[in-house]
A and B are shown apart, each in its own frame.
Chain A
Amino acid sequence: MSATITPQKPSNPIANTLTSGQLPRRIELYVLLGALALSAVLLLLIGFNIAGWLVLAAVIYLIALGILSSVVETRRKATDRVVRGLVTVAFLLALAPLISTLYTVFSKGIGVINWNFITQTSASVFNPDTLEVTTQVGAWQAIVGTLIITGIAALISIPIGILTAIYLVEYAQPKQWLARTVTFLVDVMTGIPSIVAGLFAFSLFSIIVGPKAFSGFSASVALSVLMIPIVVRSCEEMLRLVPMDLREASFALGVSRFSTITKIVLPTAIAGIVTGVMLAIARVIGETAPIFMAASFTDNFNSNPFDGPMQTLPVMAYTGYKFPGQDIAASNDSAWGAALLLVFLVVILNLIARVVAKVFAPKGSR
């Protein structure tokens, strides 16, 4: 742009930014295909791998689109197109670990999982006929431990969580100091590192019971510390979704607050609450560090949560890699098997949550 204002007529017609200098509509697709092809050719020269191909293609795509757009269109449009590309790449970049993780767990774990792996406990078996000691790989002790520990944690956290949410939504005035403090603390509590929860449970029980106080119940307490804030926050959101009209209608009929909550508010919100609780369980069932601190690990079957170490799936996966037995490969394999079982559990809980949210949604809200 020249600074001088020339009075005479411009030699070429005034550019209309809306119609002139636009790239064709499908240009992004063309450039993408071109970039993929170019990067494939380049990489075939030095050695092909999928990750490198995609990364290089993305870089070529962004640069080519930027140059093309700034030559044909304006710089502003070029920036816009490049940012759109960058943002899309960021999203695809996030999908890569998700797919890669699930694929890795499935491909590594599916070979390990069979009926015996699920129903047997890990042990060394001595065969008197052949005089051989074979290690038997199994996850039954870990499955039972996971279910017991998570179950007790849920029993502790769900009542406390729901009641706290009821207090915050139904009873407390927003400006009340108790309500504000509790809201703040619940938010802060969601940020407690999981390992600190484990250390807390260990400290608590080693003061009460004495040193070496590893037990499943202790791990449940650690998990509750992590689970309560999640349950509170989810239930709070769900209770706030219940329309105020319903409560007011109930109060207007002279129904007490208790009856309003139990007969009107909770039934309306129950689908959401169950969904939130399921997802909270799914969230803590995969916690490793707190259970590892509080319940330690073992290969023995132990179904008594109040005495002795207890094995769980995530801890089994961790110890299989970090503290392997004599047969390192077998330990690693069982770690993958445990990880896959854990993923199955989480997926099942997530599915239940979705189904509950869909099927038991409040009838009034269409």
Chain B
Amino acid sequence: MSENTAVKSAKNANETTATGAASASTPGSAPTGGSRKVRAKSRPADRIFFGLSVGSAISIMVILAGVALFLIIQAVPAIVADWPSNGDLNEGPTAGFANFWSYVGPLIWGTLFASAIALVIGAPIAIGIALFISHYAPRRLAGALGYLVDLLAAVPSIVFGLWGIIVIRPFLLPLSDWLNTYLGWIPLFGGTVSTTGSTILAGGVVLAVMILPIITSISREIFLQTPRLHEEAALALGATKWEMIKLAVFPYGRSGVISATLLGLGRALGETMAIALIISPAILVSVRMLTEGENSQTIAANIALNFPIATTLQREALIGTGLLLFVISLAVNMLARVIAGRAGASANRKRKAMLAQLPPSDPSTVLAVDDVLAKRHAAEDVERSEEASVEQTESEIDEEKRKGTDA
């Protein structure tokens, strides 16, 4: 009968905890002044479970701190070492650099450059797809089409890498020749054109494909959240669909789309396999996109290629570059969250219809939510139409009544 503590006054609840099996030292159940807090009885299982879930939450912080800590511990010897005089560092993949920073500088440039190519190609397409799914595609097809794009995220990165080798490299060769012949005076397209296609352009194109789903899924959710009244107001003023999108959808979703693009950038920065498999790299700062030997290597691909053949100290140097990659992508991700968060906060303050929080960023989460909601949405639609019909009949009845009273 101890289950019968139902909702009683605070005093009673305290009494039952005191008499119950649980020791009554729970801090929450202490009588606090005049506040009449109603609490369910607290039992050991309850507190153990609470402890476990708080512990898990704290473990997230511990893991993240651990990642940073262990990378720093491993990286420090290589960062502080004197590279030219160190026999270990002066051979193999790390030979010929004055210090750690002159080694990692070109790698950072390469990482940023490859991601920039991916973003320039991928972001406009991704936002276009999001618009297509949210505003242009037939309503019934929209869900299925969105699912197709999310499937892109399910394809493992290694498969995209292999696909890049076999399909994208030869596919881009004619384009590379054309760009070099007619636009070769632009430094980007200058130099000797690669004959194999192992260029940073090919890597960037594959990266662009890989970041499509993340940008698309977030932007799509944001576009769908645009207040219906804004859209209808624009249309009622005679705007075409595109003008409506410019007037209502883009201003509402701007910060969210910027955040989505930044998250896509974060994904591109850390992507390893596409670059490692496709480009033939060199550790140098170069803006040329079409050449064989002047492709700036990225941090992630450099680690993947050299890790198996590196000696201990060289490995520590590679871990050092990984630490910098970690810092950069963490900064980009935080920036994305802060932009979305600030827009949400200012919206709260101004009571403006604005985006409150970024939708889940990992496509697999989006897929899961879609899977589960697919059924529920259908049910809701039915419900809504039923409600509408009920309202209609009610208003008809009201009208009839009014007519009756008028008569």
On A, residues with C-beta under 8 Å from B are 51, 76-77, 79-80, 83-84, 86-91, 93-95, 97-98, 100-102, 104-105, 108, 159-161, 163-164, 166-168, 170-172, 178-179, 181-182, 184-197, 199-200, 202-204, 206-207, 211, 225, 228-230, 232-234, 237-238, 241, 251-258, 261-262, 271-272, 275-276, 279-280, 282-283, 285-289, 292-293, 296-297, 314, 317-318, 321-323, 335-336, 339, 342-343, 346, 350, 353-354, 357-358, 361, 365-366
Contact = CB atoms under 8 A, between A and B. Distances in A.
A335 B71 contact: no
B49 A258 contact: yes
B300 A289 contact: yes
B41 interface: yes
Interface in B273-308: 273, 276-277, 300, 303-305, 307-308
B53 A289 contact: no
Interface string B242-263: 1101000000000000000001
A345 to B, nearest CB: 9
Interface in B1-56: 3-7, 40-43, 45-46, 49-50, 52-56
Contacts of A170: 53
Nearest to B360: A233
Given A160-B56, A195-B303, A287-B156, A80 B379 contact: no
Contact of A91 (B6, B132, B209): B132
A227 to B, nearest CB: 10
B231 interface: no
A193 B269 contact: yes
B369 A282 contact: no
Interface in B103-139: 124-126, 128-129, 131-133, 136-137
Nearest to A355: B371
The secondary-structure label for the interface of chain B is helix
Contacts of B152: 94, 97-98
Contacts, number: 350
Contacts of B157: 194, 286-288
Contact of B272 (A187, A194, A256, A342): A194
A307 to B, nearest CB: 19
B81 interface: no
Given A79-B240, A90-B128, A254-B3, A317 B158 contact: yes
| Most interface-central of B73, B245, B270 (chain A CB within 10 A) | B270
Nearest to B272: A289
Contact of B156 (A228, A275, A314, A354): A314
B270 A94 contact: no
23 contacts: A76-B240, A91-B132, A91-B137, A164-B57, A182-B60, A185-B64, A190-B333, A191-B266, A191-B336, A192-B270, A200-B71, A207-B74, A254-B4, A256-B40, A256-B43, A257-B40, A279-B367, A282-B154, A282-B364, A289-B273, A289-B303, A343-B159, A346-B154
Contacts of A188: 64, 330, 333-334, 337
Nearest to A335: B162
Given A203-B70, A361-B372, A288 B156 contact: yes
A76 B276 CA distance: 46
Interface of B: 3-7, 40-43, 45-46, 49-50, 52-61, 63-64, 66-67, 70-71, 73-74, 124-126, 128-129, 131-133, 136-137, 145, 148-149, 151-163, 165-167, 171, 209, 212, 216, 240-243, 245, 263, 266-267, 269-273, 276-277, 300, 303-305, 307-308, 312, 318-319, 322, 325-326, 329-330, 332-334, 336-337, 358, 360-362, 364-365, 367-369, 371-376, 379
Given A87-B128, A104-B167, A238-B368, A254 B6 contact: yes
B60 A276 contact: no
A362 B318 CA distance: 49
Given A101-B163, A197-B67, A207-B70, 5 more contacts: A163-B53, A195-B322, A286-B155, A322-B276, A339-B158
Given A237-B368, A254-B40, A275-B372, A191 B151 contact: no
A90 B156 contact: no
Nearest to B128: A90
Contacts of B271: 193
Contacts of A279: 154, 364-365, 367-368, 371
B154 A88 contact: no
B365 A237 contact: yes
A229 B60 CA distance: 8
| Chain A contact surface mostly | helix
A257 B151 contact: no
A40 to B, nearest CB: 18
Contact of A234 (B6, B303, B364): B364
Contacts of A262: 49
Nearest to B322: A199
B226 to A, nearest CB: 16
A108 B66 CA distance: 41
Contacts of A203: 70-71, 73-74, 319
A200 B67 CA distance: 5
Contacts of A296: 308
A286 B132 CA distance: 29
Contacts of A192: 67, 270, 326, 329-330
A164 B60 contact: yes
Given A182-B61, A339-B159, A167 B272 contact: no
Given A90-B128, A204-B66, A186 B60 contact: yes
A251 B46 CA distance: 14
| B159, B307, B330: most-surrounded residue (chain A CB, <10 A) | B159
A164 B56 contact: yes
Nearest to B276: A322
B374 to A, nearest CB: 7
Given A91-B132, A193-B325, A233 B365 contact: yes
Contacts of B41: 254, 256
8 closest pairs, A vs B, by CB? A193-B270, A286-B156, A90-B128, A191-B333, A163-B56, A167-B53, A357-B371, A80-B240
Given A100-B163, A322-B276, A190 B361 contact: yes
Nearest to A205: B70
Given A77-B240, A193-B270, A318-B158, A87 B132 contact: yes
B163 A104 contact: yes
Contacts of B322: 195-196, 199
A226 to B, nearest CB: 10
Given A317-B158, A361-B375, A191 B360 contact: no
A102 B209 CA distance: 14
A230 B364 CA distance: 8
A113 to B, nearest CB: 15
A100 B167 contact: yes
B187 to A, nearest CB: 26
B61 A185 contact: yes
